[in-house]
Amino acid sequence: MYDKSGKVVGQESLTESIFNDDFINESLIHEYYLLQRSNARHVIACTKGRGEVQ
């Protein structure tokens, strides 16, 4: 682990079993990717209502 300045502040070890191909759900990863992409596209549009038009 690194801090904002790039210095090493810690280390964490992970077991290889969490990276096993048997537990990777590719469709779930794809759905999450599409969700992130669609959330990035949200555009806020403002329109005037009938009473605001002059």
Q: Which residues of 13-49 are buried (b: 16+ CB within 10 A; e: fewer)?
A: eeeeeeeeeeeeeeeeeeeeeeeeeeeeeeeeeeeee
Domain boundaries, the chain: 14-44
Task: Band the pLDDT of 2: cuts 50, 70, 90.
Answer: very high
pLDDT digit string (tens) for 20-52?
777 788 899 999 999 999 888 877 788 888 999
Task: Band the pLDDT of 54: cuts 50, 70, 90.
Answer: confident
pLDDT of residue 24: 82
pLDDT of residue 29: 93
